[in-house]
Amino acid sequence: MSTTIAYPPDRCTMRSSTEKAGVDISLKSIRHGFMHGDTVVHPVWDLDLDIPAGQFVCLVGPSGCGKTTLLGMVAGLVAPKQGKVMIEGAQVTKSSSESVAYMLARDALLPWLSAQDNVELGLRVRGVPKAERRKISSEWLARVGLADFKSSSILRLSQGMRQRVAIARTLALEPRCILMDEPFAALDAQTRVLVQQEFLKLWEKSGTTVIFVTHDLSEAILLGDRIILMSSRPGRIVSDIRVNLPRPRNLTAPFKNQGFAQYHEQLADRLRHEVVAANSEA
Amino acid sequence: MSGNHFVNNAAPVSFSPVPSTYLNGTSDFDQTIIHELEQGRRRDLRRTIGIGLTFLALFLLAWHMAGETGLVKRIFISDPASVAMAIWNLLSEHNTWRAVFATLTAAIFGLIIGSALGIASGVLFARIPTLYRAARPFLTIFNAFPRPAFAPIFILWFGLGATPKIAVAISIVYFVLVLNTMAGIRSVDADVRFLARSLGMSEWQLFTIVELPHAMPTIVAGLRLGAVYSVLGVVVSEIVAANEGLGQLLVQYTNQFAIAESFASLALMAAVAIVLDSAVSLLQKRLSWGRPSEA
C-alpha cells in the first residue's frame, strides 16, 4: 500500500527559469510480465506513480522488483502489458523519447571513438550538424573537467573519467528527464562521492526530472527528493517518502545532514524485509 | 530548444578539471620511466631476433649435415645451398614470374570475392536470426566438405584457367569470414545495444555507428586467415590441373625429381601467402581499434 503525500511547490518553479526544464511523468495502473525460464514473472503489478516536473526520485528495492523495467517504460523501450505511461500528459511511445536520456551503471562508451565523439553520439543520432556537435561536446567536456581529453582514446581514461564522459554524453542531449540505472555503482567509493557531488551540482541548476534506480539506501537519501521503496516480485510500491534534507547536501559525511539518520532508520528495516522476501522466493 | 537548461545559470560548474599531464609525462622523472620502458622493449626485441636467428642457423645446419653425413639421401632433401641457388635461378626465369602472377592474382580474387560474400552473409545472419537458423543446416553441411576436394569438379566445370582456382579459394574464404563477421557483430555489449536503443538509433545507425566498427577487428582478423587460405585453395587447385601457376610448377619439378627446385617452388608459394597477409595486416592497422594485440 502506498501513502499519498502532499508535495510542497516544486523547486524548479521556484527557480524562476524561463521555461520549465523538467517533465511531469505519470504511470497509471501498470502491469507487466514476461517469461523467465518456464515461468511468467510479474516485475510490476498494479503500479501507480506520479512524478512532478523537476523532482529527483530514487527507486529502491530488491533485485528483480521491476525498477529497471519501469525506467525502460518511461524511456519508451518497454511497452507495459497493461496501463499507461505519460510524459507531460502524452502517452509514451518508442519515438517520443527525445526528451528522455538514459544512463547505465557501465558507461557503454564506444572504445573506437574519441572522448569527444562519444559525447556527441546522441547528437549524431539526432542529426545535429557537425560544427554544432563539436561546439556542444567541447562545452560539455569542459564542464565535466575533461577539456584536455577531447581526442583521448576511451581506453586510456580512468573509470571515473569514463563515467564523466558518459555524464557529458547524457546531458549534451539536454534531456528534460534523466533515467539513471545505478549510474555510479561501478565506481570505487571515493570516486563515487566525487561524481555524485558533481552530478548533483549540474542537476540542481537544471530542474530536470530524474528517476534514479539504486540498491544503496544512503545514496538514495543523499541524492533524492523522494524515495520509492518497491516490494519484491510482483513489484509494488511499499512506501513513498519525501526526503526533506536541505540542499546542497553533504555527501562526504552523510550523518552530518540533519535528519539523515532518521530517514535511514525508517527505510532500512523495510528494505531489508523486502530483500529477504525476494531472496526466499524461488 | 531555447538554450541549455543545465547551464542557464552562468556560474561555473564544478567538476574539478583533470590536468592534461595526467597522460603525457613531460617531467624528467616521467621521461626516465618512459626511457626505461623503451630500453626494456629494445632488449626484448634483440633477444627475440637472437633466438630466432639461432633457430634458423641450427635448422640450416641440421639440414646440411643430414645430407652431408648420408643420414638422409640428398636426392630427397637436397641441401640449403642448392635450394638457395634454385630460388635464385627460378627468379631469373620469365616462366616463374608468370606462375607467381597467376597464383597471386587468383588468390587476390578469391580473397576479395570470398570475403565480400562472407562479410555480407555474416552481417545478414547476425542481424536476422531467423535467416541464420534457416540457413544453418546448409552451412554446416557445406562447411563439412573438405573444400579443396572440389577442385577436380570445378576444373571439369570451368576449364584450366583462373576460374576453378578462384572458386576453390572462395569456397574456403567464405566460411572464415561468415563466422568472424557474425562473432564480431554478436559480441556487441548488451549495455551498448541498450544505450543505442535509448538514443533512438535506427537499425541502419545501429549497424554503421556501433555494430560494424565494433566487429571490424574480428573481421580483419578473419581476412588475415582468409589471405593464407586463399593461397592454399588456389595452389591445391593448380596441383590438380591448371594452365599455369606455382602449383603446376611444383608438380612439374617433383615429376622430374628436381628436389631443390621443388623446395624453391614451395618457398615461392609461402612468399605469395606472406605478401597477401602483409597487405591485409596493413589494412588491419588502419581499421582496428583497441589495444595492440599479439601477432
Q: pLDDT of chain A along its 282 residues, tens only?
A: 444 444 444 443 344 444 568 889 999 988 888 888 888 888 888 889 999 999 999 999 887 778 888 998 998 888 889 999 999 888 887 765 678 899 988 889 999 999 999 999 999 999 999 999 999 999 999 988 898 888 888 888 888 899 899 999 998 998 999 999 999 888 888 888 988 988 898 888 888 999 999 988 999 999 999 999 988 878 888 889 999 998 888 888 888 888 899 999 888 888 888 888 777 765
Chain A residues inside the 8 Å CB shell of B20: 148-149
Residue ranges per structural domain of chain B: 25-68, 78-287
Which candidate, B185, B270, B272, B188, places its Cα nearest to that of B222? B185
The cell for B63 is 639440414
Is ipTM strictly over 0.90?
no
Q: What is the pTM of this model?
A: 0.81
Nearest-neighbour CA in chain B from A236: distance (Å):
25
| CA proximity to B173, closest of B266, B273, B242, B99 | B273
Q: Where are the domains of chain A?
A: 20-108+175-280
| Contact residues, chain A, for B205 at CB < 8 Å | 125
Q: The domain A20-108+175-280: what is its CATH number? A: 3.40.50.300
> What is the fold, at CATH topology level, of the domain defined by B78-287?
MetI-like fold (1.10.3720)
Copy the grid coordinates of residue A224. Answer: 533524492
For the stretch B72-90, pLDDT in tens is 998 899 999 999 999 999 9
List the single residue in B with minimal CA-CA distance to A121: B199
Whether residue A162 lies within 8 A of chain B, CB to CB, comes out as no
- pLDDT tens-digit map of A189-247: 888 898 898 889 888 888 899 999 998 899 999 999 999 998 887 888 888 999 999 88
Candidate from A121, A145, A202 with C-beta closest to B6: A202
Element (H, E) at A69: helix A67-74
Q: How far apart are CA B122 and CA B132, in angstroms?
A: 9
pLDDT digits (tens, 9 = 90+) for B151-173: 999 999 999 999 999 999 999 99
Select from B13, B210, B213 the Cβ nearest to the Cβ of A143.
B13
Helices (H), chain B: 28-68, 74-77, 80-91, 94-127, 129-144, 151-158, 163-186, 190-198, 203-205, 212-240, 246-255, 259-287
* A143 contact B CB<8A: yes
Give me the residue label for grid cell 552530478: A199
* Packing angle, helices B28-68 and B80-91, rounded to 10: 100
Instruction: Return residues 3-42 of B near A (CB < 8 Å).
Output: 4-9, 11, 13-20, 22-23
